[in-house]
Amino acid sequence: MTQKILAAHAGKDEVHAGELVMAKLDLVLGNDITAPVAIGEFPKFGRGKVFDRTKIALVPDHFAPNKDIKAAAQCACMRNFAKEQGIVNYFEVGHDCGVEHALLPEKGLVTAGDLIIGADSHTCTYGAVGAFSTGVGSTDMAAGMSAGETWFKVPSAIKVVVKGRFRRWVSGKDLVLHLIGLVGVDGARYQSLEFTGDGISSLAMDDRFTIANMAIEAGAKNGIFPVDDVCLAYLKAHGAKEPRIYAADPDAGYERTVEIDLDALEPTVAFPHLPSNTRLVREAEGLPVDQVVIGSCTNGRLSDLRAAAAAMKGRKVADGLRCIVIPATQRIWLEAMKEGLLARFAEAGCVVSTPTCGPCLGGYMGILAEGERCVATTNRNFVGRMGHVKSEVYLASPAVAGASAVAGRLALPA
């Protein structure tokens, strides 16, 4: 799938792994950390205007709402550039905002067959809708905004065959943690993770977004799903433009094949300090926890909030534990409010935030002190990721996070 999308955007009949190509872009994305650097480099390309003001997306989400003066300057830089260039897809805090990788699909800005770059490593999220999307550096973002194209080395592919159906309390987060545990954080380095198999049809779109989002944690260039009826229904519901559907040939060559049986998966947790350091939750129950974070571009969607609330079962957050809930977009926040989820979280003793990346990258709201442990639905648990270098982050699903919040320790939902 990835090679076909790259070939189409490079104006070629076919491309091969390792080949260098120049390919046209459907969307260029930046946030309040990466876009200001790109904006600083943009004048050096000598074009003056972006290639297409409808194909740039700028999202203040990492340190927004502004956490300090430097964050305010970063956001102001991006806001002013959006005004100067007439950028259509600029999303201001509080108006129609959200964490970028949840927001763009929700807004219908990504669709099947697109080629997307973003100055954020988790841009691979949009592979869930059958797009080729990948993270780049800020200078490449600047080049993309200027020229509307950029270069790629065509990746080879790993075939991930998914069969069966999830059991109760098991989700896409458990699948992707299991996969990263199998292949390692560099096991798919500069390769495409292409998901297939009869189990795909049972995966909700939110599960697919979670899985594609964390493809980078296995070192992959991108993750990508086939475009089926579930995907097409999602695209239609969110007003996405006409999809261009690409499918791998039956005899397509892969570097390796990995098989995953959904029926056999159990709730999984990644211990510090790598997403590949995985264990079954039942093997690690009882580990004391100081904080729980439910949200992020990985697991801040409405289904994630529902799963966390269901696992909490109306109980209170454990004494001495802090639980932070962050809906990923303003729309999700409003839907969660209408469903009564936000009230349930608040009544349980949680902090409920406006959409932001916040603690995921150690930005603000939920920074960990030395020796503290956090169970988080985020995507990375590197040393110092959420605070002090001697703090610890345990990656888990929203259901496990919710159960852990009320237990005061790493726990299975029941």
Distance CA 103, CA 25 (A): 19
Question: Is residue 341 over pLDDT 90?
Answer: yes
Of 161, 186, 203, 201, whose CA–CA distance to 303 is shortest? 203
The rounded percent of the chain whose pLDDT value lies above 90 is 97
Other CB atoms within 10 Å distance of the CB of residue 390: 12
- Contact (CB, 8 A) for 257 and 339: no
By DSSP bridging, strand 149-153 and strand 20-24 are antiparallel
Q: What does the block give as tokens for 324?
A: 């932070």
pLDDT digit string, tens, across residues 175-220: 999 999 999 999 999 999 999 999 999 999 999 999 999 999 999 9
Q: pLDDT at position 95, please?
A: 83
**Domain extents for the chain?**
2-239+254-260, 268-407
- Which CATH architecture group holds 268-407? 2-Layer Sandwich (3.30)
Which residue do the tokens 């964050």 mark? 71
pLDDT digits (tens, 9 = 90+) for 254-264: 999 999 999 99
Work out the mean pLDDT of the chain and round it to a whole number. 96
Q: Is the pLDDT of residue 267 over 90?
A: yes
What are the distances in angstroms from CA 140 to CA 19, 62, 87, 223?
A: 19, 20, 18, 20
Instruction: Establish whether domains 2-239+254-260 and 268-407 are of one fold.
Output: yes
pLDDT reading at 312 higher than 90: yes
- At 287, list the tokens: 């580990």
Domain 2-239+254-260 adopts which CATH fold? Aconitase; domain 3 (3.30.499)
User: Contact, 293 vs 378, CB < 8 A?
Assistant: yes
Is residue 174 pLDDT above 90, yes or no?
yes
What pLDDT is attached to residue 182?
95
Q: What percentage of residues in the chain have a pLDDT greater than 70?
A: 100
Please give the average per-residue pLDDT across 15-28, as a whole number. Answer: 97
> Does 374 have pLDDT greater than 90?
yes
Predicted pLDDT of residue 96: 83
Q: What is the pLDDT of residue 137?
A: 96
Contacts of 294 (CB under 8 A, 6+ apart): 300, 304, 305, 308, 323, 324, 325, 326, 350, 377, 398, 401, 402, 405
pLDDT at 398: 98
pLDDT in the model for residue 190: 94
